[in-house]
Amino acid sequence: MSLLQVRNLDKTFGQNYALSGVSLTIEAGEIHALVGENGAGKSTFIKLITGVYQPDGGDIFWQGEKVGIKNPRNARDLGISVIHQDRHLVPYFTGLENLYLGADYPKRKLWLGIRWDIMREEAEKLKVQLGIEVPLEKQAQDMSPTERTLLEILRAVRVGCKLLFLDEPTASLTDLETEILFRLLFRLKSQGTAIIYVSHRLDEVFRLAERITVLRNGQLAGTVIKDDVNKDSLIKLMAGREILSSDVKKEAEVNAEPFVLEVKGLRTVDKRVKEATFSLRKGEIVGIFGLAGAGRTELLEAIYGIRPNCRGEIRIKGKVLSKPSPAVSLQEGIVLIPEDRRGQALIMDMSIRENITLPVLKNYTARGIIAHTKELRDTEDCITELKIKANGAGQAVQALSGGNQQKVVFARALMSRPGLFLCDEPTQGVDVMTRSEIHRLLRNQAEQGGAVVYVSSDLEEMLEVAHRLVIMHDGETITEFAAKGLTQESVLQCCYYPRKESEPSIEGEG
């Protein structure tokens, strides 16, 4: 009898399948890796099994019995826990308090206080059982990332976890800390706990897992035994059918055109971008691709001036941008289409009109007073031109569909007659029609002398839209390709075997 069996799991968001017909079996005491590109459905899968989402189809069997996992609490009671990148700890609680978070504290008779001694004793026992050291008297906010991860695992084990999800657990760990974590995982496995390990780091996957499941576009690409595959065949499996970049696309003959944007050795203060160098000529669409956390969004934000940089140079049409800020950017004809439409682009309770004219309000004011008639007329033109489906310019943007909201974002961008678009996942969560309309709009802008930096996690889309691809890894631009004739596989190869390696690992030490 398997610990967990999943049959034909489906999950849709709107009309799109996030996960479709995924089947998977997990045995007790197994480390099972889950890999796939960004957006392949890994997170959705975790959320379905831990009760955050409800599946739209398919069955989940837990220890042979069919179950419906209604909420995270339900999952935890069954024995399923997840260790996330954004850790679920209360920052100003001590390790011990966090360990018992959401559980009943052992109490004295008649509720006269909490038995801290019992808690401490139990925690010590757990630490010995797992062979790890966690400073339980420290507040969570003072702990290192590893200590926090270990604490979370400790908590999962305390509540009788039988299946543990780890989602990119080593993203912020040093090699030495990774070793400590791995030793713990092997120990848990030997004690019969099953582990589903989600990671982009294939070396780790090969070290830990016996079996590897690959997801692709929300579907099961296959479950393989580690010894039957190597990194290359795994990448091939992730990339799927070979897709050449579309040949219809006119090859950009831009080598003689002047540079619109030149970025040299850019580094942000928070080091999310460490070393970015690339350039963009008039008429070009350049895609920036990288795995999650590679620093793509952060690079766009640094250019636009909302993420402070501390080194390097940004040139716009040859002129150095000495102090980037949104106001300066708009003046220089740079617009940003942010990834988070609701959080960063639109003011949801304001009307379409107010949203569209916000950055160019000074064009509609005389001595500070808004010329409503002119504003309304221009906004209505925008609505017609971009085919925004709305009741009128006065409708609040929160009443629009995702695709139409994104069109409002583009309408606003066009208002400032930009020469450079910085687009971050511009087609995320929009329908197919709008998606192709956005692509067409950006191509037109490029043909008419604009330039576009395009970030998307969808590699297929990037190959379709971009003339060139710049690859980022761990905050650095590592290489670039012409999109013509480029395959998904070769791009993924480059992402998983970055040329610029980080420090060598210190295996077997400590």
Partner 1 sequence: MKEKGKPNWLQLLRVYGTVIAAILIVIGFSVLSPTSFATWDNAVNISRQISFLVIIAVGATLVMAIGEFDLSVGAMASLGGVFSAKLAVQGSPFWAVFLIPLGVAFGIGFINGWIVTRFRVLSFITTMAMGTILGGFTFWFTGGTTIFENIPESFRYLGQSEWLGIPVLSFVMILVTVIFWFVMANTAFGRRLYALGGNEAASRIAGINVHANKNLAFAICAALAALAGILMASRLGSAHPTGGNGLFLPAYAAAFLGMTTFKEGVPNIWGTFVGAAIIGILANGLTILEVPTFMQDVITGVIVISAVILQKLGRK
Q: Does 329 sit near partner 1 (CB under 8 A)?
A: yes
* CB distance 296 to 290 below 8 Å: yes
The two three-digit tokens of residue 500, written as one number: 């610029």
Residue 454 tokens, joined? 């395009």
**Minimum CB distance to partner 1, residue 335 (Å):** 9
Interface residue with partner 1, options 330, 446, 465, 494 (CB under 8 A): 330
Stretch that binds partner 1, among 192-200, 241-249, 288-296, 351-359 (CB under 8 A): 351-359
Residue 393: which of 352, 439, 442 has the closest Cα?
352
Cα(225)–Cα(208) distance, integer angstroms: 12
Give the whole-angstrom CA distance, residue 283 versus residue 286: 10
User: Applying CB under 8 A, which of residues 90, 118, 347, 482 lies at the interface with partner 1?
Assistant: 347
CB of 91 to partner 1, least distance (A): 17
379-418 positions binding partner 1, by CB under 8 A: 391, 395, 399, 412
- Tell me the C-alpha distance between 432 and 464, whole Å: 14
**Quick one: how far is CA 186 from the chain centroid?**
28
**Binding flag, residue 368, partner 1 (CB under 8 A):** yes
Among 37, 177, 275, 354, binds partner 1 (CB under 8 A): 354
* Whole-number CA gyration radius for the chain: 26
Query: What is the token pair recorded at 509?
Result: 């030490």
> Which of 169, 324 has the CB closer to partner 1?
324
Pairing mode, if any, of strands 276-281 and 285-289?
unpaired
Touching partner 1, residues 298-317 (CB under 8 A):
304, 306
Q: Which of 136, 346, 451, 466 binds partner 1 (CB under 8 A)?
A: 346
> What is the smallest separation between the CB atom of 408 and partner 1, expressed in angstroms?
12
Q: Is 323 in the site for partner 1 (CB under 8 A)?
A: no
Could you tell me which of 81, 101, 80 has the C-alpha nearest to residue 90? 101
Element (H, E) at 357: helix 352-357
Strands 309-316 and 163-167: unpaired
Considering only residues 78 to 117 of the shown chain, the ones binding partner 1 according to CB under 8 A are none
For position 362 contacting partner 1 by CB under 8 A, the verdict is: yes
The residue (of 223 and 365) whose beta carbon lies closer to partner 1 is 365
Q: Which of 96, 350, 376, 478 binds partner 1 (CB under 8 A)?
A: 350
Query: Binding of partner 1 at residue 118 (CB under 8 A)?
Result: no
Considering CB under 8 A, how many residues would be counted as binding partner 1?
31
Query: Taking the mean position of all CA atoms in its chain, how far away is CA 430?
Result: 17
- Two tokens, residue 409: 């974002």
Angle between helices 402-415 and 372-385 (to 10 degrees): 120
What is the CA 261 to chain-centroid distance, rounded?
26
CA distance 86 to 89: 9
- Candidate ranges 51-59, 103-111, 361-369, 473-481; the one touching partner 1 (CB under 8 A): 361-369
Using the contact rule CB under 8 A, the part of the chain among 98-106, 127-135, 186-194, 323-331 near partner 1 is 323-331
DSSP state letter for 94: B
369 near partner 1 (CB under 8 A):
yes
Q: Which of residues 412-471 bind partner 1 (CB under 8 A)?
A: 412
- Contact pick of 29, 222, 312, 326 for partner 1 (by CB under 8 A): 326
- Contacts with partner 1, residue ranges (CB under 8 A): 304, 306, 326-327, 329-330, 336, 338, 343-350, 354, 358-359, 361-362, 364-365, 368-370, 372, 391, 395, 399, 412
